[in-house]
Amino acid sequence: MKIKNEIEREREIEEMRMDKWRTDTIYFPRDLNTHDPDSKYAWADENLPWWAWGFRLLGGVIFLASIGLLIFTGLLL
The C-alpha atoms of residue 32 and residue 24 are separated, in whole angstroms, by 12
DSSP letter for each residue of the chain: ---HHHHHHHHHHHHH---HHHHHHHS-HHHH--S-TT---PPPP----HHHHHHHHHHHHHHHHHHHHHHHHHHH-
Kindly report, residue by residue over 6-25, the tens digit of the pLDDT: 888 887 777 766 565 565 55
- Residue 12's pLDDT is what? 78
> Is 0.75 topped by the overall pTM?
no
